[in-house]
Amino acid sequence: MTPDHQPSSRRGVFVTGTDTGVGKTWTVVGLLTALQRRGQRVRGMKPVATGCRPTEQGLRSDDALMIQAHAGQDLPYEWINPYAFEPPIAPAFAARQAGVRISITRIRAVERRLARAAELTVVEGIGGWRVPLGPRSCVSDLAARLGYPVVLVVGLRLGCINHALLSAEAIERDGAVLAGWVAMQIDRDYRTLRDTLDTVKARIRSPQLGFVPWMSRLDPEALASHLEAGLRYIV
């Protein structure tokens, strides 16, 4: 384990993905719901979001609002999503356009505040493991500072095997603990589903935490059921 990746005394998990739009937020909602079924006090967080909507209360991320609705209704929105940007572009670019520096130290402080009232905190990254947050920082640096085991969401579509294997390799090379991976079917007509799952299982040493079949809409209870069995690897 590298010095940057010190295990946390607090309990939590960091959710990253093979790409953007692969189902990270749905995975977070599913994990939160499954943990709540077990009677655990949980909190969710999406520290950085782009593509946010202007509202009377300020910029709001639909993903962050979804997380807040399932584990943080009593908390200020800014605790769930400290950095919200309107343009649907890479966070480093959005921050630069807004004249803002994304501070990992600030995110960590907010996350610690969240974690005080939780048995377990689920933190969602943005995009994939190497997405830049600034000139010299990226999502992997944020995960390192938080010190939580990592869950990798693999969006099942053409090209995902390469993305999954490279992401898992990078996570482990960085010294983070890859707790496991979630297979999320994001292409309803994906033809080589079984072959893809078998290939990824054979090449990633960490366990598969669950398989989420194609879903046309968010169903937290169904998501929780698909992820329930994998909780033993992260709790």
Tens of pLDDT along the chain (235 residues)? 344 554 445 699 999 999 999 999 999 999 999 999 999 999 999 999 999 999 999 999 999 999 999 987 889 999 999 999 999 999 999 999 999 999 999 999 999 999 998 999 999 999 999 999 999 999 999 999 999 999 999 999 999 999 999 999 999 999 999 999 999 999 999 999 999 999 999 999 999 999 999 999 999 999 999 999 999 999 8
Determine how many CB atoms are found less than 10 A away from the CB of residue 38.
13
The per-residue pLDDT for 97 is 98
Question: pLDDT digit string (tens) for 216-225?
Answer: 999 999 999 9
How many residues in total does the chain contain? 235
**Phi, psi of 106, deg, nearest 5:** -65, -45
Tokens of 41: 């006090």
The residues carrying an active-site annotation are 46
- State the Cα–Cα distance between residues 142 and 148, nearest whole angstrom: 10
Q: Coil, strand or helix: which one is 61? A: coil
CB of 122 closer than 8 Å to CB of 81: no
- State the Cα–Cα distance between residues 211 and 181, nearest whole angstrom: 9
CB of 120 closer than 8 Å to CB of 42: yes
- State the Cα–Cα distance between residues 1 and 7, nearest whole angstrom: 9
The reported pTM is 0.94
The per-residue pLDDT for 204 is 98
The per-residue pLDDT for 2 is 41
Domains and CATH numbers, the chain: 12-233 (3.40.50.300)
Burial of 9 (0-12, 13-18, 19+ CB in 10 A): exposed
CA-closest candidate to residue 228, choices 215, 214, 209: 209
The per-residue pLDDT for 4 is 52
Residues 6+ apart with CB under 8 A from 8: 146, 147, 148
- State the Cα–Cα distance between residues 52 and 187, nearest whole angstrom: 25
Tokens of 137: 């920082």
The per-residue pLDDT for 72 is 74
